[in-house]
Structures are given as structure tokens and as C-alpha cells.
Structure 1
Amino acid sequence: MNGVRLDSRDRARLHGEEGEGTQLAMSILARMAEVVGARELLDITAAHIDSSLYQGPATLEFAERLAEGGARVQVPTTLNVSGVDEHGWRDWDVPETWAGPARRQMVAYETMGCEPTWTCAPYQTQPRPGVGEQVAWGESSAIVFANSVLGARTERYPDLLDICCAITGRAPAAGLHLAENRAGEVLVDLSGVPRRLAEESALYPVLGHWIGLRAAGRVPVLDGLRGQPEEDDLKALGAAMASSGAVGLFHWVGRTPEASDRATAFQGREPMSRLRPGAAQLRAARDELGSGLADADGLDLVVLGSPHFSLSEFEALAGLVEGRRRHPGVRLLVTTGRAVRTLAAKAGYLDAVAAFGGELTVDTCILTTPMLPGRIRRLMTNSAKYAWYTPGLLDRAVAFGSLADCVESAVAGRVVRNDSAWAAEP
């Protein structure tokens, strides 16, 4: 290929010596390497595949063509959400015409040797790539988590290209794979965030949403908050940044692997720009995460788990719902991966959720599976990602609140939010 150096095995694959499926994957990878300006390919140690999500006949045909052509992954490869909860889809309004092809696509990826994790958060139960490890991950929230929290290196791999990297064990040497492209660009000074708000877990998705809209794909460096985020906080922060601003990497000074101090995060350079959010800006950002659904409005469904709910989130939810019962007019749905569901069941957390009247969907995502009955029109979530995408993808009204707000709203049958932290002064 013009401009891209291929080694002998790359060329052998391109010439079909490892079968038609691998040849197709290699031809796509080599062409895309040209498009992104890579001069060579690099070896990867793992992959996470977003292409596993059924989106129609084209994605199914592509997966089955690879599998039937003998393509097999060369590195440990996890799978993002599928297009269907293969065991629980009949509990919702998923058409059989969708469930059947979605299941066929799941089989195709498993045939290629992918691990049937079916989650957008594989790092919750699977071995994690280490600092500096080159991987090829798809799915926006997983990408930003791998780059930022784990310190691994992946570009923002789109559907179809991610599986090509897994089949060849190679990726274009470009973008966030390269150290020089991982330097911070935007300083986010958090010293103006009130102490009370800094202690709220709901701050992080809102902050991520606010930063994403302003970072515009650049690398933010966060510093100065009076408090340290937990892993689930960083998960929510990154997912929101990726949704509203296509951010693939952020640094948190003193918290993430490539940001032991501010100078290290910026690789000795000066910030291109600076941001300093305060209580008023963050309150406004929180209120933006909604569409036509205000406090005290009626409610049909509370949705949790975008990215997929973790074991620690199940623990928190179990504590909030213990001894309580949801309003009969409001359903509560948690989405998670099958491995976390097993762990949560063993810990007893699912018993409390079930007693509350909550429901569970695994292996898929409400944003990407046609599962909602038409009568469900008003949603509430603690996920900025859900709130950002729901109006466009689901054509529903949505309200954003903390996990505690979501539980209180499910009990009350209407949107209830505690605004005390958002009104706090520095």
C-alpha cells in the first residue's frame, strides 16, 4: 500500500495466505491506515469490539462474511454490547425480526474467537491492559476509560475497523497510540467547584458533559478539585466527555497514570486554553441534560447503567432501595454485563433491587435495542450519556439526577431532585 510500511506477514495476509476473512480484514486495515496518515502498523495485545452491536443487515453480513471466511482474532478480544438480551428480550417490546438477526451476529463474533463479555465496560471483570499497552478498543466510553484511567493506548476505533485490528493483531501507528499525541491541551481548573458539590457523585457526569462541549476533541487536564474521584466517577466523567465532545483521553492530575503532576500531563507544554467551571455553570450544565421533563413531572421509567452498572454501583443502589418499593406507575431498569450480574447476585444486591420492583437487562443497551413500549415516554437517569442521547435516539423526554434522585423519583412517581449541593457556595 502506498505510504504504509507492511511487514512480511501483513503482506501475506493481504495476498490471502491466511484465508478470505483475514484478507478482507487486512485490506480494510491497510487502507484505513493510509486514510489516517499512518506510516506503519503496530502490534496490539488486546481488542474490544463495538462492531458486535447489531445495527441492521449490513453489520450482520459483514460479521458473517468474516467468520465464514475463516477469520479468527489474534489477540484476546472482548465484545461490546450486543443488539439483544438473548435470554430476556421477550420481557420487553423487542421484535422477533430484530432479535433473530442480532443473535446471529452474536454467534458470528463468538465464532471468530471473541470472548462473549457483551458489555461496554469490560474493565469491570476482565484483565485490564496496562500503562502504555497498545490495544484497539471500540465504543466511546470504553476508549476514553482505557486511555485515561488505565493509561493504555488506543485510537477512537470505529465499528468494523476494530474487528479488523483484532483479526490481524495490528493497528495503524497514529493518533493516541503515539506518545506525542497524548499531551494535555486544555487546562480545566476545578478550584472554583464548591466543596459540597465536589463530594457529590453526580458532579462527574455533569462535569464531563460540560467539558466535552468545550474541549471539542482535545485532551483536557483536570486539576484543583477538593476531593478525589473514585473509579466509577471517572467512568461517568469520561463517558460524558466522549458523548458530548468526542474526547478520547483526559488526564486528572495526581489521579490518572500519565498525570503525576501538571507538567507531566502537558508534556512540558503550555495549555492551549483554560476552563474554570463554577457552581452556576455546572448547575446550568445539569439542567441541559434534559428535554421537556421538569421537576415534579410524571415519570414512566428510571434507567441506570450507561456505561454498564458496576458491582460497586449495585451495592450503592441496594442500600438506597432496601426496604422500599417503587411507585406502581414507574419501572426501574438497570443495564449491565452478564459477569457483573453474576457477581451482584452472589453479593445479594439483586435481591434488594428485585424486592424494590427493579428489573435487569444484560448484554445490551436501551439506547441501541428497540425494547421500549410506546407508552413509556418519560425517562430519568443518572447517566449524562443516556440523557444526552435519549431525545435523538429514543424520541423520549428525559431528566437527569443523581442515583439517589433516581430512586426517590421511582418511589414518588415523579421527578424529584435534591438541589442543595448544586446551589452551594464555594
Structure 2
Amino acid sequence: MNLRLESRDTADLAGAHGEGARWAMGLIVALAEAFGAERLVDIDQAHLVGAYHSGPANLDLLDRLNSAGARVRVPTTLSASSADLSQTAPSCYADGHAAAARAVVERALALGCTPALTCAPYFLATAPRRGQVVAWAESNAAIFANSVIGAKSLKTPQYLDLACALTGRAPLIGPLIDAGRAPQLYVDISALSPAWFATSLGPELLGHVVGEVAGVLNPFISRPPRPLDVLALRSVCAGAGVTSGFALLHIEGITPEADNWADTARSLPAERLVDHDLHSLLSRFEVTEGDPVGAVFLGAPHFGPEDLNRLAALLNTPMKVPLLVSVSRGGTFESAILNRLDAAGVTLVHDTCTYYGPPAENIAGVPVTNSVKWAAYATNRGFRPHLTSLVGAVEAARTGRVPAPIWITP
């Protein structure tokens, strides 16, 4: 075995600090050995995906860890639950599943976790700084942490994230080391029309397509035809998180480490994207114009303050169908914006994502969204959503009809 453990690691592995730490370190060591890690590394924080109810096995594990006195050793936040557990939850969440979801969260809180209950922890005040090592499990969040913030995180699978939180340690592999952050595929987007990036939809589609063409390879994306702000970068990372196995991407001239690799990236194996690639993806999530809309779903990943500001600016007429927005319970939102959303009839859904909950299951009509993540996951669950821009989504809520398809030409 090439893995070198420190005395604190061997103590955990031997059970000196309790059964919970022994279980956690055993899992970390097994993965570290499988991937050829030479040592473990300290982490600064963790973000766990196990806050949703996935059956009795999840509850049983958390009960066993709590009974053993296990506690997280680093600041640890929870990703989205499978229900809105807030005091303002829509009535459709008042059922047995919500009670089971609450039971999972309560057990995680007993371990010392913080109930942020968001898939967008980068919008929280606790977001890491560049260079910090974290254990983030939510796919879009791990990619964002590596690619936009410049922190270092594995795309940590469920339960490894918990093990890292309980020990404060992670295997030193993948994007935690310099070699694991190097680009492996050049993605040329110079042929894409700039008009794609004048809408909120272009970055969503770009991320999804890049994830498909890159797979597990770290992509280096050529300079976009228009600058991308932080929300557009979030959309690229979220779209990529649906389809890829990589934990980071580089965007020339934008992401923190991209300039370090620019000279060598163009000698890599390459993929060239054209407008047809984005249109082809969009066509998978389009419904006939004019069909009746059941509801509009925003916030996958969860909306932050700037998202809500942009939405509020578009709400100038009454809505004919429900418009639901998923947000974090830990977000800091201006009361004036919240009042404006409430006056317009917007429903804020906290803690969860609506594609696997009752809001999407209980509508009669087409679900409309501005999120390729929402559209892809809802399609996997048997829904037939319509994907459009934020402006198109608001239009759908206002008219109650599927908006015209977005067609971008060079």
C-alpha cells in the first residue's frame, strides 16, 4: 500500500475516536487506495447531498452514527432536501414524505451539520475562497467551486462527503492535485453565435453539451463571444453537472486557472461546437408553441439574490399560471424584492428542488423552466417540459401558453 497515513488517521481507523470516525476513515482509506492516493489532506468545509429521504437505509446509517457519538469536524452544510421543510412550505408538502425528509435532516443536524438545504452553496456567506480544499458533493456546486471560485473539491459521491466531514480529511487525488486540474480536451466554441449568450439560455445549453462531449475529461473552453457573468457561469456549471463526470472546467479568459493552461490547451484533442449542437439539445426539451402551461419552475440550481432581482424586474403584469422559484433557506434576500415577488403571486419553494416533488407531479399542462438541469431531470421522471430563457419563462407564466421556440442564427 502506497498510502501514507498520519497518526490521527490511523487512530480514527483503529476506532480510537469512536465508531463513527472509524467507519468514516475506513471509507476514505478504501477509496484513497483504489485511486492510488499517496496521502490524505485536510479539508476546510463540506457540503453534503444526503439531506433528502432516500429510504430507511439512509436513516439507519445516520441513527447509527448519532448513537456512536459521531460529529462533523469541519463546518458542514446540507444540500437540498426532498421536501420544503420551511414554515412557509406550500401545502402540497404536508404529507408523509415531508415527515421522512424532516427526519433525515434532523439526524444530520444532530451530527453538527448546518441546514442550508441548498444546491447552490456558492451563494452562501460561507462559500470557500480560492485555494481552499473542500468536500462538496452536489455536482453543479463542485464544478462551480473548482471552476469559478478556484477552490479545490472532489466531485464527492454521497457518503464519502459525510466521511470527509466526520474526519476533516479527504484523499489527495483528482482536482485536489495540480495534475488533476489540467485540461484534457479543447472545446472550440468560436463558431457559436454571440446571440446565444445574450439570453440566459445559451450558458445552460453550452454546459450541458460540453458535459456530453467531454465526459470525464477536464474541458478547456475557448473564449466565449460575449463575457459571462457569475450567473452565466453558474448555468454552465449546472448544465455540465447533469451530463459530465468531470469536476472542473476551464473557460478561457474567465475561470481562475484558465490562463495557466491557454498555451497548451490548443494542442489537446479537440471538439468544435456549432449552433446546430445547441439547437439539437434545445429541441429535446421543446413543446408545441401555444400548448397550455401547467406551471413555471425556476431555481435549479436554487436562485440567489441576483436571480431574484432579475426575475422581479420582469414581473410587470399578472400571471395566469403558478410560477414557483426554488431558493435556499440560508439566502439573504432584500425584503423589497420578496414583497414584489409575493405581490406578483410568485411562490418561493425553500429547501428542495421541484422536479422530484409534488409541485411538478400535480399540474395539468406543460411544465416550463429556464433550467436545463430541471428539464433533463424532469424528463428522466417522465415529464415533458419546455425549456426556454428566463424571459420566455415569465412570458409563459403571464400568458399561460408555451412561448415561441428560441431560434438563434449565426
Aligned to 1:79: 78
Question: What letter is aligned with 1:399?
Answer: H
Is 1:245 the counterpart of 2:238? The answer is no
Answer yes or no: is the 8 Å Cα contact 2:295–2:363 preserved in 1: no
Alignment of 1:9-88 (within 5 A): 9-87=8-86
Alignment of 1:25-424 (within 5 A): 25-87=24-86, 91-94=90-93, 96-260=95-259, 264-265=260-261, 268=264, 271-290=267-286, 293-322=287-316, 324-327=317-320, 330-340=321-331, 343-346=332-335, 348-376=336-364, 378-393=366-381, 395-417=382-404, 419=406, 422-424=407-409
Cα distance change, pair 267–75 in 1 and its aligned pair in 2 (3 A): farther
Answer yes or no: is the 8 Å Cα contact 2:90–2:349 preserved in 1: no
TM-score by length of 1: 0.91
Q: Cα distance, 1:294 vs. partner?
A: 2.3
Q: Cα distance, 1:372 vs. partner?
A: 3.9
Question: What letter is aligned with 1:344?
Answer: F
Question: What letter is aligned with 2:400?
Answer: G
The number of residues matched between the two structures is 410
SS at match of 2:70: coil
SS at match of 2:302: coil
Alpha-carbon distance in structure 2 between the residues aligned to 1:267 and 1:128: 31
SS at match of 1:308: strand
Alpha-carbon distance in structure 2 between the residues aligned to 1:270 and 1:180: 18
Deviations 1:144-173 (A, max 9, x none): 001100111111111111011011010111
Alpha-carbon distance in structure 2 between the residues aligned to 1:157 and 1:267: 30
Deviations 1:231-285 (A, max 9, x none): 011111111111022332111111111012xxx2268465432222222322222
Question: What letter is aligned with 1:282?
Answer: L
Question: What letter is aligned with 1:388?
Answer: A
My pick for the range that moved more, 373-382 or 140-149, is 373-382
My pick for the range that moved more, 275-284 or 139-148, is 275-284
Question: What letter is aligned with 2:43?
Answer: I
Answer yes or no: is the 8 Å Cα contact 2:89–2:350 preserved in 1: no
Alpha-carbon distance in structure 1 between the residues aligned to 2:262 and 2:26: 36
SS at match of 2:154: coil
Question: What letter is aligned with 2:353?
Answer: C
My pick for the range that moved more, 382-391 or 62-71, is 62-71
Which blocks of at least 5 consecutive residues in structure 1 are unaligned? none
Alpha-carbon distance in structure 2 between the residues aligned to 1:190 and 1:141: 21
Q: Cα distance, 1:126 vs. partner?
A: 2.3
Question: What letter is aligned with 1:220?
Answer: P
Deviations 1:379-402 (A, max 9, x none): 111001011111113x21101000
Deviations 1:272-330 (A, max 9, x none): 3222222232222222234xx222211101100011001111001001013x1111xx2
Answer yes or no: is the 8 Å Cα contact 1:378–1:397 preserved in 2: yes
Alpha-carbon distance in structure 1 between the residues aligned to 2:25 and 2:65: 11
Question: What letter is aligned with 2:261?
Answer: A
My pick for the range that moved more, 156-165 or 67-76, is 67-76
Deviations 1:19-61 (A, max 9, x none): 1222221222222222233232111111111122221111111
Question: What letter is aligned with 2:314?
Answer: L
Percent identity of the aligned residues? 33
My pick for the range that moved more, 81-90 or 163-172, is 81-90
Alpha-carbon distance in structure 2 between the residues aligned to 1:15 and 1:73: 18
Alpha-carbon distance in structure 2 between the residues aligned to 1:71 and 1:414: 52
Answer yes or no: is the 8 Å Cα contact 2:84–2:90 preserved in 1: no
Answer yes or no: is the 8 Å Cα contact 1:184–1:267 preserved in 2: no
Question: What letter is aligned with 1:366?
Answer: T
Alpha-carbon distance in structure 2 between the residues aligned to 1:17 and 1:101: 33
Answer yes or no: is the 8 Å Cα contact 1:184–1:271 preserved in 2: no
Alpha-carbon distance in structure 1 between the residues aligned to 2:357 and 2:267: 41
Deviations 1:191-226 (A, max 9, x none): 212233332221100111111111112111122322
Cα distance change, pair 267–102 in 1 and its aligned pair in 2 (3 A): farther
Q: Cα distance, 1:14 vs. partner?
A: 1.4
Question: What letter is aligned with 2:313?
Answer: G
Alpha-carbon distance in structure 2 between the residues aligned to 1:254 and 1:279: 22
SS at match of 1:361: strand
Cα distance change, pair 304–375 in 1 and its aligned pair in 2 (3 A): closer
Task: Report the RMSD for the aligned CA atoms in angstroms.
Answer: 1.9
